Structure 1
Amino acid sequence: MNFLHSVPEEDEAVFDPKDGSGAEEDPIGQRVALNLQRLRSKRYLSLDALARICGVSRAMLAQIESGRSVPSIKVLCKIAKGLKVSVAAFLENRAFEGVEVLPAQQSKRLVSADGTFTSRALFPYDMARQSEFYEIRLKALAEEASNGNGPGIQENLVVAQGVLEVSVNEERYLLSTGDSILFYADQPHRYRNPADSEAVAFVVITYPEPLH
């Protein structure tokens, strides 16, 4: 990301050389500006108060927050430390400060037509991501099949309860509690519960490119 540069002075920022508007043409710079304003306002801090907390001058904070300049990584780290957030909180395109609790009742669920298969998302849907985390439940003697996902997508599954038979291109793998499997999900695959009790597993899906 070209907005992160090392500079000789702690309060120095990088100005956009294209024109006098600083980061106005830089979407990352604008994102930093909006997030700084949001985080500061949420804490009811004036620019002067934030300057005292993080050790960055008021003038520099005002320039960053107005989008007229973008901070160096050193300055951004100082501001993040003062606000007690991750540096990544300034780069998000949504209100996320590095920690988010997702109550179980608010999780997105997918249930098969016959009700034997349930998939519950364990991550917020409204943020950029390159991986997804799911809990899946399969009732006794039930199965769920897929013709395959997009190219390069991987699934990493671990059985948390019961047993689960995973078939990839008709090759069968029987997994007991604690066993895991990693495979490319662009191949036809199927989950089958051969037991007379519910099976529970957790699945991490990794995409070759981030989702937005």
Structure 2
Amino acid sequence: MELNRAVAENIKRIRKSKKLSMERLAAEAGVSRSMLGQIERGEANPSVAILGKLAMALKVPAEVLLENDDFVTLAEYPEVKTKPTRLDGGKAVLRENFPYDEVTRLESRFLDLYISARYEPEPSVPGCVCYVTAMSGTVSLMAEGQSFRLLERDAIRFAADQPYRFENMTNATARLLLVYQYLK
């Protein structure tokens, strides 16, 4: 759902749950009834200052007015529709599994590391955490200044906003599932 529509529905829903008329909310927030009506219909894009006034009048945190819970539980991403990225001279293959979702703040990828492959991405944005599950093979992970050895079905979580790298430690392909969560 687009943000204007989500804001409009949130304000209207909260106003009604508190049994406030449009006139009363407009008066308490210090905005015109006409402006409030436009906002609730999704016709006006309220400024941050107006959102703050409305949040104070509704007695809710401002971020509640921005919530967009238009989350669809069923989503399919067939592998044939994703394009792999070859890295480390073709010895590593990164393939998107689930793209970034604004509601869950998650995204996931498969990482295949062929013999002697290494994957060392740039650190992510501040507050990003990576959850890794070794699907097959044995992998060395350097993260948060420590070294870890991941065997098949091992899992680990680490801060992805710092340097990290994976290396295949065997003479077979290692496959990982990487799930990124953006906390901030």
- What's the C-alpha RMSD, in Å, of the aligned pairs? 3.0
Structure 1 counterpart of 2:167, from 166, 171, 192: 192
Q: Secondary structure at the match of 1:24?
A: helix
Distance 1:97 1:189, change over 3 A: closer
> What is residue 123 of structure 1 aligned with on the other side?
98
Q: Is 1:25 equivalent to 2:25 in the alignment?
A: no
Does 1:168 pair with 2:143?
A: yes
**1:152 maps to amino acid:** G
Whole-angstrom CA distance in 2 between matches of 1:117 and 1:124? 19
Q: Extract unaligned runs of 5+ from structure 1.
A: 32-89
Return the alpha-carbon distance in structure 2 between the equivalents of residues 128 and 159 of structure 1. Answer: 26
Structure 1 match to 2:177 = 202
**Letter in structure 2 aligned against 1:107:** T
> What residue identity is the alignment partner of 1:30?
G
From the superposition, tell whether residues 21 and 156 of structure 1 become closer, same or farther in structure 2 (CA, over 3 Å). same
Tell me the equivalent position of 1:5: 14
Alignment of 1:65-80 (within 5 A): none
Distance 1:124 1:149 in 2: 15
Hey, what does 1:152 align to over in structure 2? 127
Q: Does the residue aligned with 1:114 lie in a helix, a strand or coil?
A: helix
Gaps of 5+ in 2: 1-9, 27-31, 44-67
Whether 2:121 is the aligned partner of 1:109: answer: no
**For the Cα contact (< 8 Å) 2:124–2:160, is it kept in 1?**
yes
Q: What TM-score comes out, normalization by structure 1 length?
A: 0.56
Count of residues in Structure 1 that have an aligned counterpart in Structure 2: 142
Asked if the contact 1:143–1:191 (Cα under 8 Å) also holds between the matched residues in 2, the reply is: yes
Amino acid at match of 2:128: I
Amino acid at match of 1:157: V
Structure 1 residue 128 displacement after superposition = 2.3
Aligned residue identity for 1:175:
L
- TM-score computed with the length of structure 2 as normaliser: 0.63
Inter-CA distance 7–155: structure 2 relative to 1 (3 Å threshold):
same
Secondary structure of the structure 2 residue equivalent to 1:105: helix
- Identical pairs, percent: 19
